[in-house]
């Protein structure tokens, strides 16, 4: 845990109630008077301690018991702060203040400013009940604050071809006539999705911006035994095709353990299995190398004969794929497939390249978009991995 930082402390004195008697005079206050201080604290990414001073405006003249408990507001126990059972503090003669230690739970999820209270009271009724307010100031980035950059674009038409399908990701929700959410961690049949990935895929990690962009967010969030969440969407049984040109305009995330992919699988995977069905990785990026993308083809008559081949493609001058949009493309003909980045050839494959294995790339395929966390290739995130991470997709277009 980090050293704790206590921010703006705002004193607020709360006095015992006073009332005038019939003659208009104010009687003497004889009970103890609570000294209330409200606290603001920045949440942070790691848990931190907050020392809250509670007690009385003046030293007590005899033994006094103060009881405190933490009370949910918009901040919730064991999500935003660690719960504490009601606790008694004994003030001996001459004492006025004591400190209680509260753990503020850090995370990397955007939340609004939240509050909870420390309720102070006497079970003997020796002083008036009151409370102090703790305000947790969130320091994470809202999806609404995510900057949508510029970058490369692609044509809306090509000579001799027509647009047969596209998704411009306009609206506020995924078009489930074309896409399906894959939910979970792959268990029980394919735990870790076959790659020892660490995320749990769920619907909530997809959002839409400006009526024009799909955003997949990977974030540290506990779901069951998984410590991270993200989203994975597929077009299987809904949008499948062979041959033509595909253009996908996207901004990619970064960070050790982050693994975004725009890829395809053979539609006959349920009949003949993987890798016999074939796999086309139009784009994969390992977050620890944010200036490099990979184009890869997987094939093999059986799992034991799995073979893959591909190439890397690099940006220059320190540029990263998170800085701007780039175009990731597929040009697909019978017996010849190419993957490209901004019209630069990344890798290509023909039947002679797969021998003696079968060539699976003359059959129907479907799309998969996902951002994995962890896995055999990228490894696990570390304490330096920034979260949340986002893959932004502007559109996908298929021409034939």
Catalytic residues: 279, 284
Q: What is the secondary structure of 306-369 as a DSSP string?
A: -EEEEEEEE--TT--TTTSBEEEEEEEETTEEEEEETTEEEEEE-HHHHTTS---TTS-EEEEE
CA dist 102 and 83 (Å) reads 8
CA dist 390 and 56 (Å) reads 49
CA dist 381 and 115 (Å) reads 31
With vertex at residue 114, the alpha carbon angle to CA 108 and CA 118, rounded to the nearest 5 degrees, is 120
How far is residue 31 from each of residues 35, 62, 88, 128, 161, measured CA to CA in Å?
13, 11, 18, 8, 87
CA dist 50 and 77 (Å) reads 15
Nearest by Cα to 238 from 165, 171, 162, 329: 165
Nearest by Cα to 347 from 266, 283, 302: 283
Do 217 and 345 touch, CB atoms closer than 8 A?
Answer: no
- In the beta sheet, which residues pair with residue 64? 91
> Counting beta carbons within 10 angstroms of the beta carbon of residue 115, is it exposed (0 to 12), middle (13 to 18) or buried (19 or more)?
middle
């Amino acid at each position: 845990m980090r050293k704790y930082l206590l921010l703006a402390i705002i004193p607020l004195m709360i006095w015992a109630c006073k009332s005038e008697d019939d003659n208009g005079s104010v009687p003497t206050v004889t009970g103890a008077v609570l000294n209330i201080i409200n606290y603001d604290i920045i949440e942070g990414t790691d848990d931190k301690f907050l020392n809250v001073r509670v007690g009385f405006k003046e030293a007590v003249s005899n033994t006094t018991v103060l009881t405190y408990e933490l009370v949910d507001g918009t901040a919730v126990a064991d999500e935003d702060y660690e719960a504490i059972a009601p606790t008694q503090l004994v003030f001996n003669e001459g004492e006025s203040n004591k400190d209680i230690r509260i753990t503020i739970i850090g995370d990397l999820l955007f939340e609004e400013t939240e509050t909870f209270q420390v309720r102070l009271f006497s079970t003997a009724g020796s002083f008036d009940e009151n409370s102090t307010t703790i305000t947790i100031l969130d320091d994470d980035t809202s999806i609404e604050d995510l900057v949508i950059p510029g970058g490369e674009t692609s044509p809306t038409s090509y000579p001799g071809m027509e647009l047969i399908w596209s998704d411009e990701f306009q609206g506020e929700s995924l078009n489930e006539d074309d896409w399906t959410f894959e939910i979970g961690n792959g268990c029980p049949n394919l735990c870790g999705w076959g790659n020892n990935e660490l995320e749990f895929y769920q619907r909530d990690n997809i959002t839409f911006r400006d009526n024009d962009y799909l955003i997949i967010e990977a974030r540290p969030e506990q779901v069951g035994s998984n410590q991270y969440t993200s989203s994975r969407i597929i077009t299987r049984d809904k949008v499948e095709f062979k041959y033509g040109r595909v253009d996908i305009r996207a901004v990619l995330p970064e960070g050790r353990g982050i693994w975004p992919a725009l890829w395809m699988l053979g539609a006959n995977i349920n009949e003949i299995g993987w890798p016999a069905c074939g796999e086309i990785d139009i784009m994969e990026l390992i977050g620890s190398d944010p200036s490099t993308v990979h184009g890869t083809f997987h094939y093999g008559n059986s799992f034991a004969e799995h073979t893959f081949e591909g190439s890397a493609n690099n940006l220059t001058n320190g540029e990263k794929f998170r800085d701007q949009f780039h175009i990731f493309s597929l040009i697909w003909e019978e017996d010849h497939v190419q993957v490209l980045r901004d019209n630069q050839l990344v890798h290509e494959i023909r039947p002679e390249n797969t021998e003696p294995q079968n060539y699976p790339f003359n059959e129907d395929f479907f799309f998969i978009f996902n951002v994995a966390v962890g896995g055999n290739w990228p490894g696990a995130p570390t304490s330096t991995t920034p979260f949340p991470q986002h893959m932004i997709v502007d559109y996908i277009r298929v021409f034939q």
